Structure 1
Amino acid sequence: MKQKLRTLDSLELLSFQNQKAKYPSHYHDTYCISLIKKGVLLENELIATSGKIIISHPYEIHENNSLENISFSTYYVSQDVINFISPFNHTIFQSKIIENPLLFNRLNNLQHFINDKQDEKTFINQLNKAFNQIIFQLTTNYGGRNPNNVENESYIIQNLKSHISDNLNTKLSIIELAKIVSMDKFQFIRWFKFNIGLTPFQYIMLKRVEYGKSLIKQGFPIVDAALDSGFYDQSNFSNYFKKYIGMSPSLYKQSCNIFQDSNSL
């Protein structure tokens, strides 16, 4: 189940119950704070067991798997929210796996509070207060300033990413992309994977899914989101969406209109 709250910069909460987790290499533009409630989650070389918190940073390439059925919940928290609450600019967590039963229980209880929401105004005020306290404790105790933020990324990579983002609804040719950086096709694929962590094809498909997801958030019909983000039909879009997001576009769309908070961060 996924919930999107129109507060705290559209905080999202994803919950899986007794399912196998298998996600290919990907990234998110948010911090991902996951609570492992049952089983073992594998993320790259890390192993997060029941009762642990595992954190992924924005744009950090990671792959998730589980060897057996697992139950977990993930908070997707925007960079702006973390930077607003955290005492550090561009917060990074040196230890991505955190064992803190008190913080785990507070985040778990917050999920129950979200599920049991009642009066909207009271709910949003209490949610903002509780979430701010938890994130401040988490970043203060386990966070630090990230010296390698996106501002240090080379102009060539930034320019290439911008070109891809501006042309997602067109047919992006690997050969044409390679020409932008004066490389042949195979040099470019190796260079791209080394610098970005994904192949050009993986990166483009993930960006298309992200853009389609943002259109669904804005209320666009799924078929329009599919075509406008560069997929040739809704079925193709749905397959990649489920592969990277963990649920179908239609289920995601149902979760996108829960609360409106004009005073959110």
Structure 2
Amino acid sequence: MSRNQEQRHVYYDHDIGIEAYQLSGVVQKFPNHFHDFYVIGFIEGGKRHLWCKGREYDLSAGDLVLFNPRDNHYCSPIGGEPLDYRAVNISPEIMLGAAREITGEDCAPRFAQNVVYQSEAAASVGDVYDAILSDAPKLQKEEAFFCLLEQVLQEYAAPFESPEPPEPDEQIQKLCAYMEHHYAENISLDTLLSMTSFGKTYLLRSFTRQLGVSPYRYLQTIRIDKAKKLLEQGVEPIEAAGRTGFSDQSHFTNFFKSFIGLTPKQYQKIFTDGPSPAVPGEEGAEHED
């Protein structure tokens, strides 16, 4: 499938409060980044090399991917093969409520592994996506969603009594908090250094080792997440770019698409246009109209 035949379908379902998306014929590389939500997805076709939390995987059709919030990851095609992929994005709030119903435990689950080869749960992801795409009755969508989560949590979630992954040290946490509050500002390395006892090289190495992403990539990921929330509220892309620290709309659009796979305008339409499919070929555009 050529580049102009790429298809990127993304929908937000108000009944169950999750995003569902499908990528077809995509050869794009996705940079090292993280999300503030859970991802449950599967490879429908093509092959991908995935890096996640310091480990590497070769993925092919039928493989399941599971990302916790803040699991850093990036991927690229193998042999130039186009990717066919379907997934659902689940906010921590929705996941916590659903997990409480399923497990009876009042704490957020954590996936114990990021890749499951040839998982039977892949079909269940497709069931949720299809129910959302067809705008099925609410009960049908809820049933498909809870069946998927029950299957995934029972088979691949860490026991609730398991120790949490180690937190970054206090100085790194301080830098993260600063960037999360001052993301719209022109933050420099010297600004970050002034809050630590580190040298420049040590700061960059230590931050990347503990978070899995560099300080600049962390800042850009936070900016993209803030911009998504503005777009969901109906803020125009050019205003969202200015309010989240991007130098201009072209810069914003290129970063947004490299992280999300859609332009800002295409992403915003998820929340304004309802469940009508995206138009094949449009998604290859690199800039907004």
Range class of TM-score, shorter chain: 0.7 to 0.9
How many Å apart are 1:258 and its aligned residue?
5.7
How many Å apart are 1:104 and its aligned residue?
2.1
How many Å apart are 1:193 and its aligned residue?
1.3
* Matching of residue 5 in structure 1 with residue 6 in structure 2: no
Is the Cα–Cα contact under 8 Å of residues 24 and 63 in structure 1 kept in the other structure? yes
Which secondary structure does the structure 1 equivalent of 2:84 belong to? strand
Q: Write the letter of the residue equivalent to 2:155.
A: N
Give the one of 31, 40, 50 matched to 2:38: 31
Relative to structure 1, the CA distance from residue 212 to residue 110 in structure 2 (aligned partners, 3 Å threshold; closer, same or farther) is same
1-side partners of 2:206 and 2:114: how far apart?
27
* Matching of residue 209 in structure 1 with residue 224 in structure 2: yes
How many Å apart are 1:153 and its aligned residue?
4.4
2-side partners of 1:99 and 1:198: how far apart?
26
Q: Write the letter of the residue equivalent to 2:48.
A: L
| Most deviating of 211-220 and 95-104 | 95-104
**How is 1:1-265 mapped onto 2 (pairs within 5 angstroms)?**
1-8=9-16, 10-44=17-51, 45-67=56-78, 68-86=81-99, 87=103, 89-99=107-117, 102-117=120-135, 123-144=137-158, 145=160, 147-149=163-165, 152-257=167-272
CA deviation profile, 1:227-259 (whole Å, cap 9, x unmatched): 000011111100100111111001101112366
Percentage of identical aligned residues: 22
Relative to structure 1, the CA distance from residue 37 to residue 172 in structure 2 (aligned partners, 3 Å threshold; closer, same or farther) is same
Relative to structure 1, the CA distance from residue 230 to residue 223 in structure 2 (aligned partners, 3 Å threshold; closer, same or farther) is same
| Unmatched 5+ stretches in structure 2 | 1-8, 275-289
Is the Cα–Cα contact under 8 Å of residues 56 and 96 in structure 1 kept in the other structure? yes
Is the Cα–Cα contact under 8 Å of residues 21 and 129 in structure 2 kept in the other structure? no
1-side partners of 2:42 and 2:28: how far apart?
14
Relative to structure 1, the CA distance from residue 184 to residue 96 in structure 2 (aligned partners, 3 Å threshold; closer, same or farther) is closer
Which secondary structure does the structure 1 equivalent of 2:62 belong to? coil
CA deviation profile, 1:23-52 (whole Å, cap 9, x unmatched): 111111111111111122221111222112
Which secondary structure does the structure 2 equivalent of 1:213 belong to? helix
Aligned residues: 253
Q: Write the letter of the residue equivalent to 1:23.
A: F
Relative to structure 1, the CA distance from residue 124 to residue 155 in structure 2 (aligned partners, 3 Å threshold; closer, same or farther) is farther
Q: Write the letter of the residue equivalent to 2:146.
A: N
2-side partners of 1:162 and 1:153: how far apart?
12
Is the Cα–Cα contact under 8 Å of residues 217 and 256 in structure 1 kept in the other structure? yes
Is the Cα–Cα contact under 8 Å of residues 40 and 64 in structure 2 kept in the other structure? yes
1-side partners of 2:19 and 2:141: how far apart?
13
1-side partners of 2:123 and 2:208: how far apart?
39
Is the Cα–Cα contact under 8 Å of residues 4 and 258 in structure 1 kept in the other structure? no
Which secondary structure does the structure 1 equivalent of 2:123 belong to? helix
How many Å apart are 1:97 and its aligned residue?
2.5
How many Å apart are 1:7 and its aligned residue?
3.8
Q: Write the letter of the residue equivalent to 1:244.
A: F
Is the Cα–Cα contact under 8 Å of residues 36 and 50 in structure 1 kept in the other structure? yes
How many Å apart are 1:14 and its aligned residue?
1.9
Q: Write the letter of the residue equivalent to 1:115.
A: L
